Amino acid sequence: MALPCSLNRYLLLMAQEHLEFRLPEIKSLLSLFGGQFTNNQETYGKSPFWILTIPSEDIARNLMKRTVCAKSIFELWGHGKSPEELYSSLRNYPVEKMVPFLHSDSTYKIKIHTFNKTLTQEEKVKRIDALEFLPFEGKVNLKKPQHIFSVLEDYGLDPNCIPENPHNIYFGRWIADGQRELIESYSVKKRHYIGNTSMDAGLSFIMANHGKVKKNDIVFDPFVGTGGLLIASAHFGAYVYGTDIDYNTVHGLGKASRKNQKWRGPDENIRANLRQYGLEKYYLDVLVSDASKPSWKKGTYFDAIITDPPYGIRESTRRTGSQKEIQKGIEKCPESHVPVSLNYHLSDMFFDLLNFAAETLTLGGRLVYWLPVYTPEYTEEMVPWHPCLKLISNCEQKLSSHTARRLITMEKVKNFENQDQYSHLLSDQFLPYQGHNSFREKYFSGITKRIAKEEKSSQE
Amino acid sequence: MKLLTHNLLSSHVRGVGPRGFPLRLEATEVRVIPVEFNPDFVARMIPKVEWAALLEAADHLRLAEVPKGPTQGYEQDETFLRKMHHVLLEVEVVEGTLQCPESGRVFPITRGIPNMLLNEEETQT
């Protein structure tokens, strides 16, 4: 029953975590479903209330079937900075748009949500009564109404400073909730097979959304570990490949990562993880392979590459080396060749990753990966670049007082030709990039203290 | 390892380049596991398949009923797509080897997982 109308305004109620990651997630999903991101505010900042225009309700519903950053979406009928402004705004909303949801055969209820304040039942009822001027003709049904309308009152973000009156009040028709329940149902706590660095479930879904993963895509993780990132993509209908240099992890052997558990059990491997969630049909294969020396044929067949490369802290960065260096601590590995343990400089690893993505991604396909940064020295110029890949977003997650990681999303916009491999050497960005190589040292050292001491002594 | 995967793999031994494809497949243990048929996904894969390599690998596994190439209008041809679905996704090599056609280097497949690691001396610079 879509009415022919110009772009509708919607209110997104956002969850208040992973703040920087929210806007790129929504933008990526809107572009996936044919919407284009247009908004009436320059930035949303920390606010959980986002007003945006979306071409159709279908697109809005599709968005909510994917997002883990948004709690709910409402068709916005009115808003204001005071009740009077709200009511006036509601009176300006076209009646013909309201009528389909208010007619006498329908049932409805009105909910009051307040953010950063609690209201008494009496106060809530007063607010509902004040909306009597709206042309509701249907019957109230509190248990199973056909339509739910919500009043949302914004009392700011500071729990220590709650205003008497709300900053903003919104009124809208509830359309759908987002996918935040996935965070609990896919929680790493309940997963059969985990590693020391398994990705938090919420972030793994955000990564799949930044990657614009869709049904029937092929998604690849070259540092697959225990397969956590593949699970999110498989949940969204993509078929998945993974590789890792660590034989034991790929096979599900060796020491367990859970407290109180010594060795990994037979149900602990990547395939079993997908099976746990009913996603085994999306499992293509996993291979033991060195991401710096990939074994894929020439061609473009990955729709997305979504990965969390090692930072050299909790898991080492490795690539295959000469027989002289044997890695310590490999258990139960019958094969003689894990001739490993060359220091794989982080900057080389990202260079290899971007080149690989440029070569094997389909045009329009995305690369999503974490970049570890040493915060005191970080600048935007350090983010690796490639002539075939366009930077889409760069979102920070703090790890400690002086370290962070950034979720980088890039999109392939140009086909790969051989000479692109070397163009990074021509860039003066090459030098700052080297800073990543000593990330491990900086992470562990008290270098911040030393810098502070040096600054102090230079001022004296 | 599925035959779709075999079709995407190439040897990266130093110096072999494109002559590293396709890897020669031998299997000592194969199993067939049912996978839910998704015609859209199979149809998407058809243009990416190198048929000669697929036929050779299927032959080494002694598979019957392998289509010799895409049929006209294959996107709607359910019989064709079901056969391709079976060949590409339901046949798995549990134990076997992949051999580089140029250098002879052998990569083992154990518990369904190929091990493509090489020593430093063997790889491309």
* Of the partner residues B9, B40, B113, the one whose CB lies closest to the CB of residue A288: B113
Q: Note whether A296 contacts B124, CB cutoff 8 Å.
A: no
Q: What is the SS3 assignment for A183? A: helix
Amino acid making up residue A223 = F
Cβ distance A101 to A57 under 8 Å? no
Residue A438 inside a domain? The answer is no
Q: Note whether A322 contacts B12, CB cutoff 8 Å.
A: no
Cβ distance A226 to A248 under 8 Å? no
Which tokens is A253 given?
């052997």
Residue B109 inside a domain? The answer is yes
- Looking at residue A108, what is its pLDDT? 94
- Looking at residue A382, what is its pLDDT? 86
Q: Note whether A290 contacts B44, CB cutoff 8 Å.
A: no
CB pairs under 8 A between A and B: 95
Q: Are residues A156 and A188 in the same domain?
A: no
Q: Are residues A225 and A285 in the same domain?
A: yes
Q: Are residues A166 and A296 in the same domain?
A: no
Which tokens is A283 given?
């499992």
Residue A446 inside a domain? The answer is no
What is the ipTM metric for this complex? 0.96
Give the minimum alpha-carbon distance from B10 to chain A in angstroms, rounded to a whole number: 5
Any idea what the CATH number is for the domain that residue A348 is in?
A: 3.40.50.150
Give B7's contacts in chain A (Cβ within 8 Å). Answer: 297
Q: What is the SS3 assignment for A389? A: strand
Report the C-alpha gap between A380 and A396 in whole angstroms: 12
Residue A441 inside a domain? The answer is no
Nearest CA-CA partner of A351 in A280, A413, A425: A425
**Through-space distance between the first and last CA atoms of chain A, rounded to whole angstroms:** 75
Residue A156 inside a domain? The answer is yes
- Looking at residue A381, what is its pLDDT? 86
Q: Are residues A206 and A122 in the same domain?
A: no
- Looking at residue A252, what is its pLDDT? 86
Q: Are residues A160 and A212 in the same domain?
A: no
Q: Note whether B12 contacts A293, CB cutoff 8 Å.
A: yes
Report the C-alpha gap between A284 and A178 in whole angstroms: 28
Among A178, A202, A237, give the residue marking a domain's end. A178
Any idea what the CATH number is for the domain that residue A57 is in?
A: 3.30.2130.30
Q: Note whether A295 contacts B10, CB cutoff 8 Å.
A: yes
- Looking at residue A197, what is its pLDDT? 77
Nearest CA-CA partner of B110 in A192, A426, A335: A335
Report, as ranges of residue numbers, the positions in chain A whose pLDDT lies below 50: 1-5, 322-342, 428, 431-433, 435, 446-448
pLDDT band (50, 70, 90) for residue B33: very high
Residue A434 inside a domain? The answer is no
Task: Please give the tally of structural domains in chain A.
Answer: 2
Q: Are residues A254 and A400 in the same domain?
A: yes
Report the C-alpha gap between A132 and A129 in whole angstroms: 6
Using left for φ > 0, alpha for ψ between -120 and 50, and beta otherwise, residue A289 falls in beta
Any idea what the CATH number is for the domain that residue B76 is in?
A: 2.20.25.10
Q: Are residues A113 and A42 in the same domain?
A: yes
Q: Are residues A162 and A261 in the same domain?
A: no
- Looking at residue A339, what is its pLDDT? 37
pLDDT band (50, 70, 90) for residue B123: low
Q: What is the SS3 assignment for A48? A: coil
Residue B98 inside a domain? The answer is yes
Report the C-alpha gap between A9 and A25 in whole angstroms: 19
Pairing state between β A8-14 and B91-99: unpaired
Q: What is the DSSP letter of A81?
A: S
Q: Are residues A220 and A368 in the same domain?
A: yes
Range of the domain at A390: 182-319+339-425
Residues A4-20: tens digit of each pLDDT: 445 689 999 999 999 99
Residue B64 inside a domain? The answer is yes
Among A132, A161, A178, give the residue marking a domain's end. A178
Q: Are residues A272 and A137 in the same domain?
A: no
Task: Please give the tally of structural domains in chain B.
Answer: 1
- Looking at residue A84, what is its pLDDT? 95
Q: Are residues A292 and A385 in the same domain?
A: yes
**Pick among A295, A318, A337, A422 to test the B interface (most B CBs inside 10 A):** A295
pTM of the full structure:
0.88
A237-to-A27, A186, A202, A234, A318 alpha-carbon distances in Å: 20, 15, 17, 5, 32
Residue A416 inside a domain? The answer is yes
